[in-house]
Each structure stands twice: as C-alpha cells, then as structure tokens.
Amino acid sequence: MMDEDSRYEAVRSRDGRFDGAFFFAVETTGIYCRPSCPAVTPKRHNVRFFATAAAAQGSGFRACRRCRPDAVPGSAEWNVRADVVGRAMRLISDGVVDREGVSGLAARLGYSARQVQRQLTAEVGAGPVALARAQRAHTARVLLQTTGLPVTEIAFAAGFASVRQFNDTVREVYAATPTEVRAAAPRTRDGRRPAPGAGIPLRLAHRGPYQAAAVFDQLAAEAVAGVEEVCGPPGGRTYRRTLRLPYGTGIVAVEERTRAPRTGTGTRPGGWLDARLHLTDPRDLTTAVQRLRRLFDLDADPYAVDERLGADPRLAPLVAARPGLRSPGAVDPLEPAVRALVGSAGAEPLVRRYGKALDAPSGGLTHLFPEPAVLAEAEPDGPLGALAVALADGTLRLDAGADRDDAVAVLLALPGMDPAVAAAVRVRALGDPDVAPPGTEVPDAWRPWRSYAVQHLRVAGESG
C-alpha cells in the first residue's frame, strides 16, 4: 500500500510501474491522468488520488488526452485478491453489469446489491454502475476510433441504454462529442478510415517487461486444432483463435512482437501486443478484450513478482534470464479443465464432434470449443461427463468471479478428479497466481506468486 506522498513521488518521476495501480487528478485543470503522464507535474496541493478511473470521473474529472489513462493495464490487485471486491472487479471487467445489471452481479457474488455497492465504494471509490460506466466509455472510444460503425450503433454496442446517455458520458469523460472523438483518431498512412470487415485493431497494454516468446511457445504447444493456431516463425508469430462470447462469436489474431511506447522524459516501462478482433456482434468487445487480457496475463505486476521470486537463490538466475515472465490464463473456463483431463490432443476430437462450426472458416480455425451443455449431453459418463454436467448446471463455476476455494472443492468432489487436475484448473481457468503443484515442497518465500515460480521452472526445463 502506498501513502499519498509516495504516490506523488511516483507522479513526479513519471513512474509507469504504477500505471493502472492508481490515478491522479489535478483540481486546477479538471483532468485525471496515469502516473507516467508526460505533462508538467502539478503542485502537490492541487493533486488528488483515486483507485480507479471511475472514481476520478465520479468526482467530475475528465480523461487526459495526452496520456490516455483509460488505456492503462488493469490493476494487478484484482487478479490476486480472492475476496468479494476482487471477484466483483473481475466480473465487472467481463461485462456482467452491462448484461445482468447490479442484481446479477450481486447474485453471482452471493451478496446483496447494497453490500456490493458499499464494499466497492469503500475500497475503490466507485460502485458497480460507475465502474461499468467508465468501462463503457473506454469501449465507446475504441469503437469510435477504430471502426466505421455509425455512432448510434456504437452507443448500444458499448453497453449504453440510450444514445443520449452515450453522448453525455463521452462528453463528460473526454470533454468532446463522439464525433470529435472519432475525428481525433489516428489515421492510416493513406488517411483512410478502417475498411469494413477489417476487424477492430487493438493495443493490449501490459506493464513492465513481457516475455512474449515463452507465452507463445506455451500457446503453440497446447493449441487445439480447429480452435487455435500459431503461425509464423519465432519472434514474429501470430496466435489466432475462435471466441465464444455472450452475444455472438469472434476471431482474434494476436502478434508475438511486443511494442514499446516512447518514454520521453518519464519512465514508461511496458508496452503492448498488437491484436485484431473480428466480432459478429460489437457488444462483445469489452468481454472479448478482458478475456484476452486474462489469457495473456496482461494485468500482472511483474515488478512485484520478480522482486519476490528474484530474492530466492534457486529462482534468481531464472528471473534474471526472463524478467516479466507471465502465467497464461484462459478465455473459456471449460477449455483448461478439459485439457487437464484429456490433454490438447484428446480435446481435438471433441471439438470436431461437438464444437459449433463457424459459418465461414478462417484458415485453420473451423470451430468454437464445445459448450458445457452440449458436451454434457453427448458425453454424460466418466470424469469428462461429470465435469461438463457440473459446469452446465451451475454446480461448478469457473468464471472470472468464482470463489476459487469453492470451485476447487467442487472439482475434487467430482469422479475422476485429482489434486493435479484441480491445481491446473485453478491456475489457468481461475487465474490464481499462487498455486503450487500438489505433493511438492515449495518454499513459503515464493508466496503469493507460486504459479509464476512454477512457470519459471517449467520454462527453464526444471521440475517443480
């Protein structure tokens, strides 16, 4: 935890390590920024600090056009925390409030709407509606600046209930009309707007160093034919996959090569992965982006991970060799559970038999991963059937807001499950950063980053 003086020092030094961890606003300008904003540092007595962009917006501040604070990586805290606030933040990022309302969010968490509102407001300075509103504003900006969709369609695709609400929010957050936001978008070299059908170009931001090669090696080794493919030579590979989303389907391509921003006079470590997303329904943009962020572990805090693990004599040389190593997650909770049971090779025939075929195949991408209900009906017996049935009827939850301990307890109660499978699911589907392989002696000094420690050992070819 940082006090306000420490936060101001981070702002004064333009330290990008804290981008997304907190935001600061300047009372004399009415603008809020990321800590690494290159603008002139404001005087301390004019600065206010906020845990989230939504809290800054709720206090009447608008987003800086120079540093784009809405485009920072998410706070790593919400992936680490397993309490109700952490679970709520993950669910809100997944678009649950837009799809199911605050009551739906509360039901998933097992709390009343009033309790959720109170806890979020106390900890992050904004309730679920305000947090979802800030996310909708960001989605709207992305669609305005990267697609040729009519403004009216963008309003509803971003999750707004009306065009008026959309217009008011964009003006409040960006101090510009939607038309002005669109006009400020970077142009292509020939000055043209994105062509219809070209997909949505994305910059998937991360903080600190990012070991893309290790992530792409793992994705290539585990790829399920028909659902995923990795193309190109090492260093310039593209990961492509299909996505099953709440309103439709998607195909995404993510480039291996990382991009770094210009640092200027400040410290802006980090960068982004370039991606291009094709959606059958643009309302799925927010959810698709958040699931990709979980898959590539883009909201991690590599500084905290490397500091803790680098102090261990066994891990120190591994951390020095691969700073910023990530622990990949998943876009579909069923996938890692099925792979843990039958392996990627065993999942391929399931995709061919029970996965929904794409209307238009794209290269080697032909199917969506099977839905739990379909798999439960087709394969009702054995461990795989028990897993699919539990997911289909809601007995087992592996979504972004699931209680990790409860989910593992349900998993272990299913026939054919063992601690190794449960641990693999906990890392990949539930995104737990602190999982040790069952039956291994793992030092307490590796907590709370044991998943990353195991990843270092795996990539280096060592056993846990």
The percent of residues above 90 in pLDDT, for the chain, comes to: 84
Q: Do 94 and 399 touch, CB atoms closer than 8 A?
A: yes
Are residues 291 and 214 part of one domain?
Answer: yes
Q: How many domains does the chain divide into?
A: 4
Task: With respect to residue 317, please indicate whether it lies within any of the assigned structural domains.
Answer: no
Are residues 382 and 341 part of one domain?
Answer: yes
Which domain range does residue 372 map to?
A: 334-432
- Measured CA to CA, the distance from residue 386 to residue 43 in angstroms comes to 61
- Say which CATH number the domain at 86 has: 1.10.10.60
- Choosing from 255, 278, 299, the residue where a domain stops is 299
Per residue in 5-35, pLDDT tens? 999 999 999 998 899 999 999 999 999 999 9
- Say which CATH number the domain at 268 has: 3.30.310.20
The whole-model pTM stands at 0.92
Are residues 343 and 272 part of one domain?
Answer: no
- Choosing from 53, 71, 89, the residue where a domain stops is 71
Task: With respect to residue 170, please indicate whether it lies within any of the assigned structural domains.
Answer: yes
Are residues 412 and 346 part of one domain?
Answer: yes
Per residue in 65-113, pLDDT tens? 999 998 888 888 888 888 999 999 999 999 999 999 999 999 999 999 9
Task: With respect to residue 111, please indicate whether it lies within any of the assigned structural domains.
Answer: yes
Lowest model confidence (mean pLDDT) among 60-74, 75-89, 178-192, 380-394: 178-192
Are residues 114 and 85 part of one domain?
Answer: yes
Q: Say if residue 463's pLDDT is above 70.
A: no
- Measured CA to CA, the distance from residue 159 to residue 138 in angstroms comes to 11
251 three-state secondary structure: strand
Task: With respect to residue 326, please indicate whether it lies within any of the assigned structural domains.
Answer: no
Compute the mean pLDDT over every residue in the chain, rounded to the nearest whole number. Answer: 92
Are residues 208 and 115 part of one domain?
Answer: no
Spatial neighbors of 171 by CB under 8 A, at least 6 apart, are 177
Q: Determine the straight-line distance between the first and last CA of the chain, rounded to whole angstroms.
A: 31
Are residues 174 and 82 part of one domain?
Answer: yes
Q: Do 439 and 305 touch, CB atoms closer than 8 A?
A: no
Q: How far is CA 231 from CA 5, 214, 253, 360, in A?
A: 48, 15, 10, 19
Backbone angles phi, psi at 4, to 5 degrees: -70, -30
- Choosing from 183, 213, 231, the residue where a domain stops is 183
Task: With respect to residue 449, please indicate whether it lies within any of the assigned structural domains.
Answer: no
